[in-house]
Amino acid sequence: MADTQVAIVTGGSRGIGRAVAERLARNGVAVVVNYFGSVEAANEVSTAALEAGGQAMAVRANVTDPAQVTALFDEAHARFGGIDIVVASAGVLRTARIAEASEEDYTEVLDVNVRGTFNTLREAARRVRDNGRIITFSSTTLALNAPGYGIYNATKAAAEGFTRVLAKELGPRGITVNCIAPGPVETDLLMAGKSRADVNRLAALAPANRIGQPADVADAVSLIVSRDGAWINGQVLRVNGGAA
């Protein structure tokens, strides 16, 4: 990998993506913080990286649009001269039992979590430098099979499938492709609409009796994208404190 690594983190303005972007910046990686919603939140991440002595920029792009994903990679390359790490963390969560799910639920979750991941991976496969790192995101919900998560789980199964195949395709170039499957993590995405009792039930899934924090996941990403992670490839790592 290059002396100064360059990373694109999709969905990097909030939740796990934000924690990953901030951790990589602290590691000395030049970070491109992709966002689609709040430019203020994305700029906060970039500013924090700059204040810590790192390099960062925020770039708006809707990952469901292949042209915008290409433009995102173009901006990263123009600013930093290349791309070594891609973390495809952009995603949405909608829960509904299959019998009650709407067409809107299905379309939105599939569009962002599957199409968006595919668009990001396709561009990463073309643009990441040799010996680079690519990370996708699944979820421990895929192992738990909880009611209401049918559509979401289908998208995460797709992410795992993309990961395993792309690892084989890019392995000859020394590029590793792995998937992180977090357990319950305290983010706005997960906590929205949940009662204290719901949160306690989620916490009880892990032997430590707590919900994960975004930093827990960022630590795992930091390891996999480092030089120490060179022999980890094509894997799905459940970062869940033993919840499943």
pLDDT tens digits, residue range 131-169?
Answer: 999 999 999 999 999 999 999 999 999 999 999 999 999
Q: Please confirm, yes or no, whether 35 is among the known catalytic residues.
A: no
Instruction: Write the CA distances from 112 to 94, 99, 184, integer angstroms.
Output: 11, 22, 20
| Cα 232 from Cα 203, distance rounded (Å) | 29
pTM: 0.94
| 50: CB partners within 8 A, 6+ apart | 56
The whole-number pLDDT of residue 2 equals 56
Instruction: Write the CA distances from 82 to 6, 20, 117, 164, integer angstroms.
Output: 7, 19, 20, 24
In what helix (H) or strand (E) does residue 40 lie, and over which residues does it extend? helix 39-51
The whole-number pLDDT of residue 100 equals 97
| 74: CB partners within 8 A, 6+ apart | none
Q: Cβ(180)–Cβ(11) under 8 Å? A: no
| Cα 50 from Cα 124, distance rounded (Å) | 25
User: Residue 209: exposed, middle, or buried by beta-carbon count in 10 A (0-12, 13-18, 19+)?
Assistant: exposed
- Beta strand 83-88 with 176-182 is unpaired
| Cα 127 from Cα 150, distance rounded (Å) | 33
The whole-number pLDDT of residue 37 equals 86
Residues of the chain with pLDDT under 70: 1-2
167, two tokens: 């690892």
Query: Does 6-183+219-229 carry CATH code 2.40.10.10?
Result: no
The whole-number pLDDT of residue 126 equals 98
Read off φ and ψ for residue 123, nearest 5 degrees: -70, -40
The whole-number pLDDT of residue 1 equals 47
CA angle 146, 198, 203 (to 5 degrees): 85
The separation between CA 48 and the C-alpha centre of its own chain, rounded to angstroms, equals 19
175, two tokens: 């590029």
Q: How many CB atoms lie within 10 A of CB 163?
A: 25
